[in-house]
Amino acid sequence: MIDLNNESAEEVDEQRLVKLALFTLDQLRIHPEAELSILLVDEATMSAYHEKYLGLPGPTDVMSFPMDEMRPPHPDEEPPIGLLGDIVLCPTVTAAQAADNQRTPAGEADYLLVHGILHLLGYDHAEPEEKAEMFGLNDKLIAAWDATR
């Protein structure tokens, strides 16, 4: 189940984000009844979260708050069910940085939503090997998503 709340006052294709989240979770073999919350916020709210939880000033593009520490299953395992957690996106920040990443604002939001989901599933990019794995998977999932559209 995916719950999306847009508190940002920005026009966002909410259905697209929900469909992308469902597609990504399906590709990663997460149970369709797993719960995910997506919150779209303004820059002031994102700045407050960024400072409170990471001790960093200013708004950021995406933050993830895992709940049940779920992981994608191995091929011989059943898909996990539970609370994935919360993803917080700031549409104004994602739109502002889209061109720097050679993406449209919607494409940047897509990329960051997948990035947030991967963080909820235990992926990280602190070390070079982790970064290569996470960003490679992020790119693969976005390419698969784009191929369906």
Q: Nearest Cα to 110, choosing from 7, 118, 8?
A: 118
Enclosing domain of residue 140: 2-148
Q: Write the CATH number for 21.
A: 3.40.390.30
* Predicted TM-score of the model (pTM): 0.92
DSSP readout, 18-38? HHHHHHHHHHTT--TT-EEEE
pLDDT in tens, the chain (149 residues): 899 999 998 899 999 999 999 999 999 999 888 999 999 999 999 999 999 999 999 999 999 999 988 888 888 888 878 899 999 999 999 999 999 999 999 999 999 999 999 999 999 988 889 999 999 999 999 999 999 87
Q: Are 76 and 25 in contact (CB under 8 A)?
A: no
Tally of structural domains, the chain:
1
Gap between the Cα atoms of 109 and 64, Å rounded? 14
